[in-house]
Amino acid sequence: MGRPILVRAAHFVLVGWWLSFLWANLATLFAITIVGLPVAIWMIHRLPFVTSSSRFHG
């Protein structure tokens, strides 16, 4: 199924907040170039999963 809500909440507070900040900034750097734009779009679409520690099923 998924991870328990308490584990995901702890991940968000301790790791997810900062990791998503770095992830979004890295995606912004990729978006500056035409070549990096597909990677940036992929990263932005995965940002909620990086923040909340949930898994992408689709």
DSSP string, the chain: ----HHHHHHHIIIIIHHHHHHHHHHHHHHHTSTTTHHHHHHHHHHHHHHHH-PPP--
Domain spans of the chain?
11-52
Check residue 58 and give its pLDDT: 43
Check residue 55 and give its pLDDT: 66
Check residue 17 and give its pLDDT: 87
Check residue 41 and give its pLDDT: 96
pLDDT block averages, 10 residues each, the chain of length 58: 75 86 96 95 91 63
Check residue 38 and give its pLDDT: 96
